[in-house]
Amino acid sequence: MSRSGVVTFKGNPMTLAGEEVKVGQAAPDFKLHFFKDGMQTIGLDCVKGKPTILSVVPSLDTGVCATQTKKFNETLGAMGDKINALTVSLDLPFAMNRFCGAEGIENMQSASDYQDRNFGTDYGTMLEELKILTRAVFVLDADGKVTYAEYVPEVTDEPNYDAAVAALNAAL
């Protein structure tokens, strides 16, 4: 399934692969990859038990994506280990690790959908024309139910940080 006209990239309408993830539904499972003492994977079962924020970005090597990751990293630091916080993109795990190290990102774990791109399809965030993920934010409660979902209408704009953090606080 594809959805047209949901988002734009620099004003151009884009097509998202997959169905829209909606508040109230069970979060789709995922298998993402990260590099920490070797290649590792993380899935929905790994984040259940704590509220989770999934901050989805096209690429950490762009200004808006870097800003989004830094802002969430700074804001979520006070919540400590009461939450899970993931930045998700198609960037290679090594590049994500390099970015997070260089920028002092310690409160967000970077996780990549580069290998099978199922996250992009299952969360309805894959931009078909560009083969990258659109900008989106999802908050899951401790049971893995979606309590907040935002697909940023213009990919080059920042998400609604306040609304996402409020949803995360409500899930605590």
158 φ, ψ (degrees, to nearest 5): -80, 155
Structure tokens at 14: 């884009």
Chain center to CA of 113: 10
Active-site residue, selected from the candidate residues 14, 21, 60, 65: 65
63 φ, ψ (degrees, to nearest 5): -60, -50
Chain center to CA of 101: 19
Catalytic residue status for 65: yes
Structure tokens at 159: 């998400």
Rounded CA separation 22/164 (Å): 14
Question: For residues 70-87, b (16+ Cβ closer than 10 Å) or e, as one string?
Answer: eebbebbeebeeebbbbb
Q: Catalytic site residues?
A: 65
